[in-house]
């Protein structure tokens, strides 16, 4: 009996990824919705003892006796994010995440990402792909999934803090599911980032007829139907994270937070619905992190975990978006309720969107075929 031991896989550059549909935001939103249904059913695995870990991160010291070792800095990280996803995907993969804000001084993105998709039976590689767009679109798609189920159908005004990559994909996802959007309120750190973002909006979404650059976070929030914070910054002191005050929030607003965020006591109240993309993810973070956990991971869902520990919030007041999508919990219950959703980011999302893009690349003959071996030298 002859066994074929040859293993080939494909390499997909960023341009290959674009040709294979990685920037199809509506398709990505639909795929992420399918992911959350699988999460709710339990047909997935991530790292860690509860199978819900965000990933494994290399932590650098503030000071080191080794002069060549990187030092800890804002958003300085190297991280592996592995996962398996079942359902129609039935694939596994790992994203390698390298991030350094100083990259921008070199004309590079803050984060440089690669993703390897593997056969779930043998572990053999199926594809090795550029993952900056993969990651950006799956991250932005999650607020879109939330808005589809939790935003008012007549939402028109978006308030956005942070006109960068995450801001672009989050806005794209909002527009994909809320077609009446015609107004954007925007706050950024530099005139260049604002000008670049506004130019992109005008070219990409002519339906947005009003763009207002505002001076404060309060102005971002006030009067907005959809609110998102998409900034990056130093962790450690939650009082320095971008804040949401209850008095700023319009009745009926939906807030989707894929980046650092803090809330005041008014937003902590039980009548503000608090939704998570996966409760298990935040429970895993809370187990892994020193306390208070929000000092170390700035997304608002981690603050919710601290609130549980402090006795400020009962567990049954936290809602899982997967349960809502499955129809076992209500979506928006009234026109005036305020809903805030935490977006933590999970490697199952990379596996899902990476699988969809990989299969489209195969269908279209996109990518460079590479050989791992004809026959392994050691076995």
Looking at residue 265, its pLDDT comes to 98
Q: Compute the distance between CA of residue 156 and CA of residue 245 in angstroms, rounded to an integer.
A: 21
Residue 23 pLDDT more than 80?
Answer: yes
Angle at 139 between CA 134 and CA 144, to 5 degrees: 120
User: What is the separation, in whole angstroms, between the first and last Cα of the chain?
Assistant: 17
Do 311 and 202 share a domain, yes or no? yes
> Considering only CA atoms, which of 34, 165, 147 is closest in space to residue 90?
34
- Quick: pLDDT tens for 165-200: 999 999 999 999 999 999 999 999 999 999 999 999
Q: Is residue 2 part of a domain?
A: no
Residue 290 pLDDT more than 90?
Answer: yes
Q: Is residue 302 part of a domain?
A: yes
DSSP code at position 374: S
Q: Is residue 148 part of a domain?
A: yes
Looking at residue 80, its pLDDT comes to 97
H-helix or E-strand containing 285? helix 279-288
Do 93 and 159 share a domain, yes or no? no
Looking at residue 115, its pLDDT comes to 98
Do 187 and 219 share a domain, yes or no? yes
119 has which bridge partners?
none
Q: Mean pLDDT throughout 82-95?
A: 98
- Quick: pLDDT tens for 251-270: 999 999 999 999 999 999 99
Do 214 and 303 share a domain, yes or no? yes
DSSP code at position 6: -
Cβ neighbours for 326, distance < 8 A, ≥ 6 positions apart:
37, 40, 41
pTM passes above 0.85:
yes
319 has which bridge partners?
275
In Å, how far are 27, 51, 86, 320, 359 from 89, measured between CA atoms?
Answer: 15, 18, 5, 22, 10
Q: CATH number of the domain at 44, please.
A: 3.30.1780.10
Do 326 and 241 share a domain, yes or no? yes
Q: CATH number of the domain at 159, please.
A: 3.40.50.720
Q: Mean pLDDT throughout 55-71?
A: 90
Do 319 and 256 share a domain, yes or no? yes
Number of domains in the chain: 2
Q: Check: CB of residue 107 under 8 Å from CB of residue 370.
A: no
Q: Which residues of 76-90 are buried (b: 16+ CB within 10 A; e: fewer)?
A: bbebebbbbbeeebe
Residue 101 pLDDT more than 90?
Answer: no
- Quick: pLDDT tens for 198-255: 999 999 999 999 999 999 999 999 999 999 999 988 888 999 999 999 999 999 999 9
Q: Compute the distance between CA of residue 106 and CA of residue 194 in angstroms, rounded to an integer.
A: 20
The encoded tokens of residue 174 equal 């909002």
- Quick: pLDDT tens for 317-353: 999 999 999 999 999 999 999 999 999 999 999 999 9
Looking at residue 99, its pLDDT comes to 85
Count of Cβ atoms closer than 10 Å to residue 163 Cβ: 27
Confidence label for 108 from pLDDT (cuts 50, 70 and 90)? confident
Q: Is residue 1 part of a domain?
A: no
Do 178 and 49 share a domain, yes or no? no
Do 184 and 273 share a domain, yes or no? yes
Do 185 and 234 share a domain, yes or no? yes
Q: Is residue 79 part of a domain?
A: yes
DSSP 53-74: B--EEEPPPSS-S-TTSPPP-T
Confidence label for 109 from pLDDT (cuts 50, 70 and 90)? confident
Do 114 and 208 share a domain, yes or no? no
Do 158 and 115 share a domain, yes or no? no
Q: Where do runs of H (alpha helix) occur along 90-214?
A: 132-150, 165-177, 191-204
Count of Cβ atoms closer than 10 Å to residue 29 Cβ: 25
Q: Mean pLDDT throughout 159-169?
A: 97
Q: Is residue 126 part of a domain?
A: yes
Residue 1 pLDDT more than 70?
Answer: no
Tell me the percentage of the chain whose pLDDT exceeds 70.
99
Residue 2 pLDDT more than 70?
Answer: no
H-helix or E-strand containing 38? helix 25-41
Query: Tokens 């990559």 — which residue?
Result: 165
Q: Check: CB of residue 101 under 8 Å from CB of residue 75.
A: yes
Q: Is residue 170 part of a domain?
A: yes
Residue 357 pLDDT more than 90?
Answer: yes
Range(s) of the domain holding residue 77: 7-134+348-373
46 has which bridge partners?
83
Q: Is residue 379 part of a domain?
A: no
Do 303 and 291 share a domain, yes or no? yes
- Per this entry, what is the length of the chain? 379
């Amino acid at each position: 009996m002859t066994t074929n031991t040859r293993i080939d896989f494909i390499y997909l550059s960023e341009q290959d990824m674009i040709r294979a549909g990685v920037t199809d935001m509506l398709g990505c939103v639909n795929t992420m919705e399918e992911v959350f249904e699988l999460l709710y059913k339990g047909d997935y695995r991530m790292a860690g003892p509860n199978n819900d870990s965000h990933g494994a991160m290399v932590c650098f010291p503030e000071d080191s006796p080794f002069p060549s070792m990187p030092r800890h800095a804002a958003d300085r990280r190297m991280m592996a994010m592995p996962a398996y996803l079942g359902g129609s995907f039935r694939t596994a993969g790992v994203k390698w995440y390298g991030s350094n804000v100083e990259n921008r001084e070199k004309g590079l993105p803050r984060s440089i990402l690669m993703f390897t998709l593997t056969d779930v039976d043998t572990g053999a590689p199926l594809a090795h792909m550029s993952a900056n767009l993969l990651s950006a679109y799956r991250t932005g798609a999650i607020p879109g999934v939330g808005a589809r189920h939790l935003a008012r159908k007549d939402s028109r005004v978006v308030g956005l803090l942070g006109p960068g990559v995450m801001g672009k994909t989050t806005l794209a996802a909002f527009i994909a599911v809320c077609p009446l959007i015609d107004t954007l309120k925007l706050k950024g750190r530099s005139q260049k980032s604002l000008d670049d973002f506004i130019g992109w909006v005008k070219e990409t979404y002519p339906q947005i007829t009003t763009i207002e650059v505002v001076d404060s976070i309060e102005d971002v929030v006030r009067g907005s139907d959809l609110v998102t914070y998409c900034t990056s910054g130093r962790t450690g002191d939650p009082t320095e994270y971008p804040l949401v005050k209850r008095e700023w929030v319009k009745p009926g607003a939906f807030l989707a937070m894929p980046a650092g965020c803090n809330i005041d006591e008014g937003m902590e109240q039980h009548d503000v619905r608090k939704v998570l993309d996966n409760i298990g993810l935040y429970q895993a973070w809370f187990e892994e992190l020193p306390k208070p956990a929000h000092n170390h991971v700035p997304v608002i869902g981690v603050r919710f975990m601290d609130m549980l520990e402090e006795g400020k919030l009962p567990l049954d007041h936290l809602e899982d978006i997967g349960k809502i999508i499955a129809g076992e919990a209500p979506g928006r219950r009234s026109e005036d309720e305020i809903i805030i959703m935490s977006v933590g980011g999970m490697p199952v999302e990379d596996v899902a969107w990476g699988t969809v893009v990989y299969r489209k690349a195969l269908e279209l003959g996109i990518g460079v075929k590479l050989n791992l071996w004809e026959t392994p030298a050691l076995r």
